[in-house]
Amino acid sequence: MNSESADTLQSIPLEAAHIRAGARMAPFGGWNMPLHYAHGIIHEHRHTRSSVSLFDCSHMGQFRITGESVAADLDRMLPRRVSDQRVGTCRYNFLLAEDGTVVDDIIVYRLHENTYFVVVNGGTIDGDANHIRRHLSDGSVFTDASATTGKLDVQGPGAAGVLAQCGLPAGALPRYFRFAETEIFGIPCLISRTGYTGELGFELYFDAARSLDVWTQLLVCKNLEPAGLGARDTLRLEMGYPLYGHELSRSTTPVEAGFGSFIDNDRPYIGADSLQRPPGRRLTGLRFDGRRAVRAGAAIESVDGALIGVVTSGSFSPSLEVAVAMAYLDVFSATPGTAVIARSRKIDIPGVTVTLPFYARGSVRDTIAV
């Protein structure tokens, strides 16, 4: 991402374990993270699509918010209601500024009637904590549990098989966007059926002090291999999932990013007024003919040479074996099937707008056989 010097990077608990496992480490959002292991990003990507991978996401933040007025507080803050969310479910949501732009994209878990667990991006923890605290009423108690919470993601069509090997049979696993509070290897663990890859998968939260135990014992499982943030990025790109700092930021709104139908328009919340205007641009998928990547920042032009937008993420797609990108395009140019030209490093690369996701064969919603 940005130029982050090594001496200011924060360490995750498993840093040494990753290095021992052959990881190439790289800065991401202020954290020193595994980019890939010995077999490389493409192998890890394909292994996640065909089998199952283990991702360390301990850089991400977790907050616990409790109190009788929490549901009302969060409803005033978030564009998707949490007060009608059932205990045991997760919901994708956004922290918004008054102008409707995105402070962060988050997942809200309703742990109990008056307790919510909020998962946020690793590079935005402090800003998110300040934002939420500022908008809570006096009776709500906010705890930043980021430093004491470990997070490992088991992602891939073989994910349920891995958890079965760990003593969690299919019947014990939560359904899509639900969670269960259970144990793994005798360690208390919250498991949600969520992820960022487009495959069947689970996110595991546990005491950060037990990270090495969980990591080491999981990796004994048949088929499970470690995968880094490089594969996580290409996997999410193929699904058209936004990455904070790219598709979502303080200069974009959830409506522009394509989440207009997710968010409530029948009640007030922070930023609601700003989201009423129809957006002038729209997050759009671009598919190119060749393998040459079009990367973030590249200009997109119409075939007659007019500037119509800019790329937010782009890469060679290991599943499609061509380059794909996401870009904010002028709404009049965002219709699927529109021919465009990407200007990348002074070279013109022809492409076409397509509907997201790029990759539609993922196992993310598959039913687990019990």
Partner 1 sequence: MKRFTEEHEWVEIDGDIATIGISAHAAKELGDITFIDMPETDVEIAQGDVLTVVESVKAASDVFSPLSGIVSEVNPALEKNPEVMNESPEHDGWICRMSRINTDELSGLMTEEEYSDFVG
Which residues, numbered 239-298, are part of the site for partner 1 (CB under 8 A)?
290-293, 295
CB of 315 to partner 1, least distance (A): 6
Cα-based distances in Å from 339 to 300, 309, 350, 354: 10, 13, 7, 10
24 binds partner 1 (CB under 8 A): yes
Among 35, 118, 132, 160, binds partner 1 (CB under 8 A): 35
* Contact status: 40 vs partner 1 (CB under 8 A): yes
Q: Does 311 bind partner 1 (CB under 8 A)?
A: no
28 or 206: CB nearest partner 1: 28
C-beta separation of 20 from 219 below 8 A: no
CB of 46 or CB of 76, closer to partner 1: 46
- 85 near 110, Cβ under 8 Å? yes
3-class DSSP assignment, residue 176: strand
Three-state SS sequence of 241-289:
CCCECCCECCCCCCCCCCCCCCCCCCCCCCCCHHHCCCCCEEEEEEEEC
Name the minimum Å distance from CB 293 to partner 1.
6
- Nearer Cβ to partner 1, position 24 or 343? 24
Site string for partner 1, 315-344 (x = CB under 8 A): xx-x----x---------------------
Residues forming beta bridges with residue 153, ordered by sequence position: 55, 203
**Total site size for partner 1, rule CB under 8 A:** 20
What is the SS3 assignment for 210?
Answer: helix
Q: Where are the beta strands (DSSP E) in 50-146?
A: 52-56, 61-66, 90-96, 102-112, 115-120, 141-144
Q: Which of 4, 21, 42, 299 binds partner 1 (CB under 8 A)?
A: 42
CA atoms within 13 A on the CB side of 179: 28
| Distance, CA of 350 to CA of 231 (rounded, Å) | 25
Among 12, 25, 31, 36, contact with partner 1 (rule: CB under 8 A): 36
Is residue 313 part of the contact set for partner 1 (CB under 8 A)?
no
Least Cβ distance, residue 83 to partner 1 (angstroms): 42
Peptide linkage before 278 cis (omega within 30 of 0): no
| Sites of contact with partner 1 (CB under 8 A) | 24, 35-36, 40-43, 230, 234, 290-293, 295, 315-316, 318, 323, 345, 347
